[in-house]
Structure 1
Amino acid sequence: MKRFTTFYTRPARWASVVLLVGLFGGCEHLEQLENIFQHRLTYKQESAKVVYDWYKLIAQIQLPASPQPVVILNNRNFGYIGVGLYEAVRPGIKGSVSLATRLYQMPAMPEADMHQEYRWGASANAALASMYKQFLVGLSEADKARIDSMENAYNTHFRQTSSEAIIARSQAFGRSVANAIYQWSTTDNFNLSSQGYTPPVGEGAWKPTPPAFASPVGPYLKESRPFLFYSLTATAPALPLPYSEDEASQFYKAAKEVYDIGKALTAEQKATADWWADAGGAGVGVPAPYHILSLITGILEAKHAKLGQAAQVYAKTGIALKDGPIAIFRGKFQYNLLRPVTYIQEQIDPTWQSYLPSPPYPEYPSGLAGLYSPVMQVLIREFGDIPIRDDAYGWRGLPARQYTSISQLDREAADSRIYAGIHYRFTQDITRQMGKTLGNTIADMNLTPNYY
């Protein structure tokens, strides 16, 4: 992925200025041209701190929210926010193209007037403030006041080095992008209800699980418009093991593994299951996708990414946040596989309980692995399989977890659902491969084809 870069080195820049002065016949144009080139030299390297602060602020706002945001809806919303952020700063990325040329049924986005000067950090600031208010449900008046305060504070900061006209122009552009993104989002047919849906019955079929025995969530999510054409039909491969109740079968052994692990859980395995569950309500867990976003932001900050690179990474990981669940839920309701707790109670031990409750939808493929794996693959493609630090629960005083690689983190997240008693191991292994494929599809999307 290309970063915000300068058009020219200083000697080349001056050669171009001299050439243009000769062509247009007048030293009177020299100062004007030099100002243009200087502008292009500086705005390509704008800091991404404004973006990082916005993603951290929304975590602070949503952490104490009660009830907590709906997981899949919040993931979807941050997908749009990432795409909108990129579009709000895209004109400042050399050789870049709009995601409207890459995403399925995305309309043309507002265009900046490149004869005018912009402060792209101010555009991002306005776009994120606007999108947070439009996309994130349940914001209180106090929450909205915090958003306004952040926006105003950054505008005051930008005014120290940019004129009021530049700030106003940049704000207007960012807000126009935010509004266009939100209007587009209203047509994506997003639906988590199960009204009118009757779960199939039969051997190996999913049944509501304890303790709540809730109705299924998301049977129609597969019909939501994805970001990628690829995701219109993407689904899980066929089940690798035929359903069987025979104690000698591979399926029985897969369930027995979950049972045996659950009967002898170590303190570390319980802590790992809890770490990745992000559950427990306000003040205990973290609202999705804050855990993922904190990992993304942490890597970007550690790599000192500038605004252009950060915006592209948030956009591409945002695409994964929205499209990952669409493919996962298409597979879930296609194969309709029962959860381990159901199989174990019926075939192995009627008194067994999973460490964590199973979410109210079929087992295969995995929702958590299907969310993390494509995001982690996008990060691997951008930065390599680097060491990564996870401090998602630092606010609770829990020590950060350190991993030798992004892949190790991704593996642990998947294994955590086995410890929790929620998934079979084969589900996690296959879902990680699904996520890697989606992540590579997203990472292959070239947003700077005109870079030279």
Structure 2
Amino acid sequence: MRRIKILFLSLVIPILFGCEEKHDLPGLDKFSQSQLIVWNRHLSEIIIKDIFSPPVASRIYSYPNIAAYEALAPAYPAYKSLSSQYNGLSEIPQPDTTKEIYYPVSSIIAFSTVGKKLILDELKMEEYEAEYLAELKRIGIREEVLNNSIAYGREVGGHILAWAKKDGYVETRALTRHVISAKPNTWQPTAPDYMPAVEPHWNKIRPFVMDSASHFKPQLATAFDSSATSGFYKEAMEVYSIVKNIDKEKLLIARFWDDNPNISYTKGHVTYFQQKLTPPGHWISITSSAIRKNKLDMMEAAETYVMVTAALADGFISCWDAKFAYNSIRPDTYIERYIDPDWDPILQTPPFPEFPSGHSVISAAAATVLTHKFGDSYAFIDSTQLAIGLPVRKFNSFNEAAFEVGESRIYGGIHFRAACDLGAEQGKAIGNHIVSKLRTRKAEQTAKL
């Protein structure tokens, strides 16, 4: 396990000189090793309770992980800042080298500082931070070192927050809602809640690495046509038939990858809601599992998180740009209108246009980054949905999992095949772009991250 050299002497020398105050550096290192996994889980728990939409969730995961990476990087000479590589991110404040700093603490404090300003339940994040600091004191970190480390983490976190405030998010909160079109090929609100379209202006958010929201446009989908001999009708019939004849395996796959953050249920006159992970939260869970399984040190874990979160965030920006440009009809609307008025999808249709499939785009993007990191034959068990009573699923690769995501949207009755297949191609292009543009290492000795 790597050691933070700048702190090592400061912790060992007092012991050598027989001072009463002692510090357990191995204990600190062991504790710190898993903290980015822990804090991403904390963030997921809050995102679920705050009921953020998938695009917003991708933004929330990105900035804290960037802050954590940047606050930790000064302790690892082989790594470099990403300040010149993310759009609009200026040079990160550098630490005062005359002060003793334990950078893993700075990293978590930077994460917490940014994270609590992007969510609703700030008190919960502050509670997590208080518990974290209490554990550090129990382990025995020296107060001066702790204070210096916190101060640097806050400084980096403040810098990332100032950058985040300029990404257009606040401005999009005041923009008008999506206007429903009367054209037969366009998206219409769907049962049971008939909600307005979610985040119609997400393409105005500043991309993290892409040149623009329209940098990666999907290929054209099958042209809309209501005639029974058309290609579009045949795609609709595929969805219709699968749902009508769904088997247990396809049903399980649809449920496993649903990742709808807020599903409504109505019994009689009572409506209640179930909150779950978002699609980006599901891939953060997969990423955390791979980091844990491979016993990555904290810096390599931070590196992996920033790459994956960039793919997720830019994936949503790119996908939402296409969604509202095409404004495509959902299977629920088309099938009830032209095939069977009594048909219902397996999954609750999300409130935004159909093409391309958002989960397909971001899953392919994340899988591409993770494949670059861990290899094309990385077998893993996804236990993400145990929390909601679903069994684990086994995959031979990240790409296999991403492919199943696309199939799940068809099985669930919420997407046509073209939206999933072409969305996956779009996501793969975004993932490759992230891998080629974000350079985390000063020396490119290996082909991996």
- Same-fold status (TM-score > 0.5): yes
Given that residues 83 and 319 in structure 1 are in contact (C-alpha distance below 8 angstroms), is that contact kept between their aligned partners in structure 2? Answer: no
Pairwise CA distance, 1:416? 0.9
Which residue pairs with 1:222 in the alignment? Answer: 203
> Matches of residues 9-408 of structure 1 in structure 2 within 5 Å?
48-63=33-48, 65=49, 68-114=51-97, 116-139=99-122, 141=123, 144-157=126-139, 159=141, 163-190=142-169, 191=172, 195=176, 197-279=178-260, 285-287=276-278, 289-385=280-376, 386-408=378-400
- Identity percentage over the alignment? 27
8 Å contact 1:340–1:423 — kept in the other structure? yes
SS of the equivalent of 1:230 reads coil
1:56 and 1:137 map into 2 onto residues whose CA distance is 16
CA distance in 2, matches of 1:206, 1:196: 14
The alignment partner of 1:99 has SS state of: coil
1:118 to partner: Cα distance: 2.7
Aligned partner letter, 1:146: Y
Indicate if the aligned counterparts of 2:356 and 2:420 stay in contact, CA closer than 8 A: yes
* Paired position in structure 1 for 2:13: none
* Contact 1:117 1:166 survives alignment (8 Å): yes
What's the offset of the Cα at 1:297?
Answer: 0.6
CA contact (8 A) 1:269 1:419 kept: yes
Deviation string, structure 1 residues 304-343 (Cα, Å, up to 9, x no partner):
1011111111111111222111100100111111111111
- How many Å separate the matches in 2 of 1:232 and 1:208? 24
CA-to-partner distance for each residue in 1:108-138, whole Å, 9 max, x for gaps?
2111234554322111121122223222223
On the 8 A contact 1:82/1:316 being kept in 2, the answer is no
1:437 aligns with 2:432: no
Q: TM-score, normalised by structure 2?
A: 0.84
In the TM superposition, what is the alpha-carbon distance from 1:6 to its structure 2 partner? 10
> Conserved in 2, the CA contact under 8 Å of 1:4 and 1:92?
no
CA distance in structure 2 between the partners assigned to 1:158 and 1:253 by the alignment: 66
CA distances 1:390-413 after superposition (whole Å, capped 9, x unpaired)? 111223454321111111111111
CA distance in 1 between counterparts of 2:320 and 2:47 reads 25
Using the alignment, how far apart are the partners of 2:307 and 2:33 within structure 1? 16
Q: 1:335 to 1:4 in 2, by over 3 A?
A: farther
Asked whether the equivalents of residues 47 and 306 of structure 1 are also in contact (C-alpha less than 8 Å), the reply is no
Range with bigger deviation, 203-212 or 282-291: 282-291
Q: Identify unmatched segments of 5+ residues in structure 1.
A: 8-42
Describe the SS at the equivalent of 1:277: coil
Moved more, 150-159 or 81-90: 150-159
Kindly tell me: are residues 349 and 223 of structure 1, through their superposed partners in 2, closer, same or farther at Cα, counting changes over 3 Å? same
Instruction: Give the structure with higher Rg (CA).
Output: 1
SS at match of 1:101: coil
| Code of the aligned partner of 1:292 | W
Q: TM-score, normalised by structure 1?
A: 0.83
Aligned match of 1:412: 404
CA distance in 2, matches of 1:290, 1:154: 27
The answer to whether the 8 A contact 1:81-1:131 is kept is yes
User: 1:222: how far off?
Assistant: 0.6
Which deviates the most, 192-201 or 213-222? 192-201
Does the 8 Å CA contact 1:374/1:436 hold for their aligned counterparts?
Answer: yes
Q: Deviations over 1:210-248 (max 9, x none)?
A: 222222222211111111143443243342322222222
What is the aligned partner in structure 2 of residue 22 from structure 1? none
Deviation of 1:198 (Å) = 2.2
Q: Per-residue CA shift, 1:139-165, capped at 9, x if unaligned?
A: 4x4553233112331354361xxx433
* Gap change, CA 1:438 and 1:294, over 3 Å in 2: same
Aligned letter for 1:188?
A: D
Deviates most, 118-127 or 277-286: 277-286
- 1:241–1:60: structure 2 CA closer, same or farther, 3 Å change rule? closer
Cα–Cα, structure 1 residues 59 and 434, in superposed 2: closer, same or farther, change >3 Å? Answer: same
Task: Please give the alpha-carbon distance, in whole angstroms, between the structure 1 residues aligned to 2:246 and 2:38.
Answer: 38
Distance 2:372 2:2 in 1: 18
State the 1:69 CA deviation: 3.0
**How many pairs align?**
411
Secondary structure in structure 2 of the residue aligned to 1:100: coil
Distance 1:436 1:189, change over 3 A: same
> CA 1:114–1:46 in structure 2 vs 1: closer, same or farther (change >3 Å)?
farther
Structure-2 residue corresponding to 1:448: 441
Tell me: CA distance 1:402–1:58, structure 2 relative to 1, closer, same or farther (3 Å).
same
Shift of 1:289: 3.5
Distance in 2 (alpha carbons) for counterparts of 1:229 and 1:293: 21
- 1:42-70 Cα shifts (integer Å, max 9, x gaps): x999953121222233344555x2x5233
Larger CA deviation: 45-54 vs 110-119: 45-54
RMSD, aligned α-carbons: 2.8
Larger RCO of the pair (alpha carbons < 8 Å, separation 6+)? 1
Q: Tell me, which stretches of 5 or more residues in structure 2 are unaligned?
A: 6-27, 264-272
SS at match of 1:209: coil
